[in-house]
Copies of this chain bind each other. A is one copy, B any other.
Amino acid sequence: MRIAFIGLGNMGAPMARNLLKAGHQLNLFDLNQAVLAELAELGGQISASPKAAAADAEAVITMLPAAAHVRSVYLGDDGVLSGIRAGTPTLDCSTIDPQTAREVSEAAAAKGVELGDAPVSGGTGGAAAGTLTFMVGASAELFATFKPVLEQMGRNIVHCGGVGTGQIAKICNNLLLGISMVGVSEAMALGDALGIDTQVLAGIINSSTGRCWSSDTYNPWPGVIDTAPAARGYTGGFGAELMLKDLGLATEAARQARQPVILGAVAQQLYQAMSLRGEGGKDFSAIVEGYRRKG
Contacts and interface: CB of A to CB of B under 8 A. Distances in A.
Interface stretch (A24-32, A108-116, A259-267): A259-267
A107 interface: no
B265 A290 contact: no
B250 A204 contact: no
Contact of A196 (B169, B270, B272): B169
Nearest to A271: B260
A10 B164 CA distance: 35
Nearest to A253: B194
A193 interface: yes
A96 interface: no
A135 B145 CA distance: 52
Given A197-B161, A208-B173, A210-B180, A255 B248 contact: yes
Contacts of A144: none
Nearest to A198: B172
> What interface size band does chain A fall in?
35 or more
A188 interface: yes
A226 interface: no
Contact of A291 (B156, B160, B210, B259): B259
A278 B214 CA distance: 28
Contacts of A260: 186, 269-270, 272-273, 276, 291
A267 B264 CA distance: 11
A174 interface: yes
Q: Which of A208, A218, A252 has the most CB of B within 10 A?
A: A208
A250 B176 CA distance: 22
A209 B173 contact: yes
Given A156-B207, A175-B190, A263-B267, 10 more contacts: A160-B204, A168-B194, A168-B195, A168-B201, A173-B205, A174-B209, A183-B263, A209-B213, A251-B251, A273-B291
18 contacts: A160-B200, A164-B194, A165-B196, A168-B194, A172-B190, A174-B210, A175-B187, A176-B184, A176-B186, A180-B183, A182-B262, A186-B263, A190-B264, A194-B259, A209-B214, A254-B272, A258-B275, A273-B290
Interface of A: 98, 121, 133, 135, 156, 158, 160-161, 164-165, 168-169, 171-177, 179-180, 182-184, 186-191, 193-197, 200-201, 203-205, 207-215, 218, 244, 248, 250-255, 257-270, 272-273, 275-278, 280, 290-291, 293-294
